[in-house]
Structure 1
Amino acid sequence: MFLPAALAVTLVLVSLVTMGLFRQRWNPSNKHCYITGGSTGLGLALAILLTKKGADVSIVARDQTKLSAALQELEKVRQTPSQKLKAYSFSLTEPKLASDALETVCAEHGGRTPDAILMCAGASRPSFFVESEAEDLKRGMDNAYWVQAYTAWAAAKRMVKTQTQGKIVFVGSVLSFMSIIGYSSYSPGKYALRGLAESLRSELQLYDIDVQMYFPSTIFSPGYEEEQIDKPEITKKIEETDGGQQPEECAQALFEGIARGDFHITGEFLGHLFRSTGRGVSPYNNVFLDSIYGLIGVIGLPIWRRSVDKLIKGNQREHRQYLMSKGFHSRS
């Protein structure tokens, strides 16, 4: 009797510890949060949420018109007159530009390094691999990997030099754990981001810098609407089972994960399954719940994958006709 009871108590305590109930939650009030991709979608929703919680918020994106509109939204939810809410137009797919953007933002804060670097910038352009041009593959890595990697590189250097004990937060995708037809130019970059986050989580412990990563499924954002234009129909068909979430829901899930101190952050059932079955040796968020998700995933995800493969193979004739209509190959 004693041994099972002791084991049960141990499991509960471990579960509570990994849930973060015995850890101090991160509070963004009076902290400087630097958000890339902050003009629309998840980035804007997160900027609004953090502004409501009293943070100084700097958003960076390319389009000045969208940035100006986003800044107006932040001003509507300003909590105090002293909050600094700023917007900056930069491209972040080159190392110098990523460094310049960060330095410009820091200059507005008297040279102070941001307390949190939150990287929401990125884009996806789904297509068939055989129809891609070499430039499409390069652009895919720029938009899925380098746009965040260069910012993380600049931020880590600055944080270490200024002895800033802050946070670096990546935004990946469930496509960081698995991929499907149509995402050959996007998933490789998201897989690479996950590897970078794993490496930096280990290395930056030397400086008490936290590294975290968010893995959302479909986000109903302006970027999602753009990706639908040329997305292969077979990809759309597979994604019909993904309910999707609004940017505000994702921003809340991301914030909660950051506040708890989770390394791998997910906020809906599908994400929990892929995270728990594909986490490798990454830390548990909750050893009890993650074990349950992992068990469900081990049983359910192979069934899901077989159904996806069956759907794709059943599309072979239609796809050949599509390629013929595009002049990709001859009827012979």
Structure 2
Amino acid sequence: MLQLSDFQSAVLTSIFATLLVIWAMWPTKKWDPRGQFCYVTGGSSGLGLAVAKALTNKGAHVTIVARNEERLAKALAELEELRQNPNQVIRSYSYSLTDADSSKAALEVASKDHSGKHPDAVFMCAGAATPGFFVEEDANSMRKGMDNSYWIQAYTALAYTKAIVRDKTSGKLVFISSLLGYMSMLGYSTYSPGKYALRGLAETLRSELILYDCTVHIMFPGNIDTPGYAEENRTKPKVALEVDSSDKPTAPDVLATQLIYGVQRGDFHISPDMLSNIFRSSTIGATPHHNVLLDGLYAVAGWIGLPLWRQGVDSKVLKHRNEHEEYLAAKGFFKTVL
């Protein structure tokens, strides 16, 4: 009987593993945005605007929704400059998306531009963070935090799901979570819980919406170089700024390209860089793998590196203990009657 040497076996094993990696990474069917009706929330600035621009540039019909009418008008003008053909439908609407009825109304108004047809894909980029210490929060700020991190996307997802199921049409739901939907740290007590909740919602809908031929995707970006990030840093505690300083913000257009590529590939979790892939693979649960072998390597890297990273973060936080106590005293916190 023919027997292989150890070297030959190792070579064949390597070849097989390489082919497996290539096969696992190769998309079976690539989604094409051209001619598709794409609905983008938070589309007046930041990541939402970058996604809207990228989709417009690919020939999609694009509707953006946000609250600020002035920024919407400017964004719409920018989209018009990227128009690929005269038949593209490019629109903007001003609605508050932290309200269920308003979120539904925005979707219905946008659909009227397409003879009542609901979007082929919904990109939910709206959201905001207001970092601070948990001990300074109150019931109102905690509710607002969930509004701006969870409900602002969940209400749109609910309205869209009901619409396509009633219409018996397929669709795509694209959530934007955050790296803080995989882990969290000081300063994000009103933001990170909503981003974790989005993951839970997306995990549920990925399973449920198989019934209706609707795919679900969720992205976990780190810091994004946007006006919102600059505003966030204005209220961010000093210690949180120090801890966060190692995560350099990424340009919105870079993330928009990665997001659309992930949707085209059919990825469920879209992790735009090595760090987010390490967190994804270390907390994967029942989430579908991108690539079994690579995810295994990322998980090993996380098993070794993340405890060291966490230890470093905790050390930075503890160095601010005395300074933090002085800050609370200056604010009169210790005189507060609970």
Q: If the length of structure 1 is used for normalisation, what is the TM-score?
A: 0.96
Question: What letter corresponds to residue 24 of structure 2 in structure 1?
Answer: T
Q: Where does residue 284 of structure 2 map in the other structure?
A: 279
> SS in structure 1 opposite 2:333?
coil
Distance in 1, Cα, partners of 2:38 & 2:164:
13
Residue 121 of structure 2 is aligned to residue 116 of structure 1? yes
Distance in 2, Cα, partners of 1:71 & 1:22:
33
Question: What letter corresponds to residue 334 of structure 2 in structure 1?
Answer: H
For 1:62-211, list aligned pairs within 5 A: 62-211=67-216
Shift of 1:18: 3.1
Distance in 2, Cα, partners of 1:119 & 1:240:
27
Residue 243 of structure 2 is aligned to residue 238 of structure 1? yes
Q: If the length of structure 2 is used for normalisation, what is the TM-score?
A: 0.94
Shift of 1:286: 1.9
Per-residue displacement from partner, 1:259-306 (whole Å, max 9, x unpaired)? 111100011122111111112121111222222221111110110001
Q: Check the 8 A contact 1:127/1:230 in 2, yes or no.
A: yes
Shift of 1:162: 1.2
Root-mean-square deviation (Å): 1.4
Q: Check the 8 A contact 1:174/1:217 in 2, yes or no.
A: yes
Question: What letter corresponds to residue 136 of structure 2 in structure 1?
Answer: E
For 1:175-324, list aligned pairs within 5 A: 175-324=180-329
The structure with the larger Rg is 2
Question: What letter corresponds to residue 45 of structure 1 in structure 2?
Answer: A
Per-residue displacement from partner, 1:47-77 (whole Å, max 9, x unpaired)? 0000000000000000111100000000011
Q: Where does residue 15 of structure 1 map in the other structure?
A: 21
Q: Check the 8 A contact 1:167/1:210 in 2, yes or no.
A: yes
Q: Check the 8 A contact 1:16/1:22 in 2, yes or no.
A: no
Note closer, same or farther for the CA distance 1:22–1:232 as it changes in structure 2 (3 Å cut).
closer
Q: Check the 8 A contact 2:38/2:123 in 1, yes or no.
A: yes
Q: Check the 8 A contact 1:33/1:116 in 2, yes or no.
A: yes
Distance in 1, Cα, partners of 2:155 & 2:27:
34
Q: Check the 8 A contact 2:27/2:265 in 1, yes or no.
A: no
Distance in 1, Cα, partners of 2:166 & 2:9:
51
Q: How many residues align?
A: 329
Distance in 2, Cα, partners of 1:170 & 1:299:
30
Deviates more, 1:65-74 or 1:287-296: 287-296
Question: What letter corresponds to residue 119 of structure 2 in structure 1?
Answer: P
Shift of 1:4: 5.5
Per-residue displacement from partner, 1:215-245 (whole Å, max 9, x unpaired)? 0000010110111111001110001111220
Q: Check the 8 A contact 1:47/1:57 in 2, yes or no.
A: yes
Q: Which runs of 5+ in 1 are unaligned?
A: none
> SS in structure 2 opposite 1:33?
strand
> SS in structure 1 opposite 2:288?
coil
Shift of 1:112: 0.6
Shift of 1:7: 5.0
Note closer, same or farther for the CA distance 1:228–1:108 as it changes in structure 2 (3 Å cut).
same
Per-residue displacement from partner, 1:172-193 (whole Å, max 9, x unpaired)? 0010011000000001100000
Per-residue displacement from partner, 1:142-168 (whole Å, max 9, x unpaired)? 000000001001111111111221210
Q: Where does residue 60 of structure 2 map in the other structure?
A: 55
Shift of 1:252: 1.0
Note closer, same or farther for the CA distance 1:226–1:150 as it changes in structure 2 (3 Å cut).
same
Q: Which runs of 5+ in 2 are unaligned?
A: none
Deviates more, 1:307-316 or 1:45-54: 307-316
Distance in 2, Cα, partners of 1:269 & 1:152:
28
Shift of 1:3: 6.6
Shift of 1:6: 6.2
Shift of 1:248: 0.8
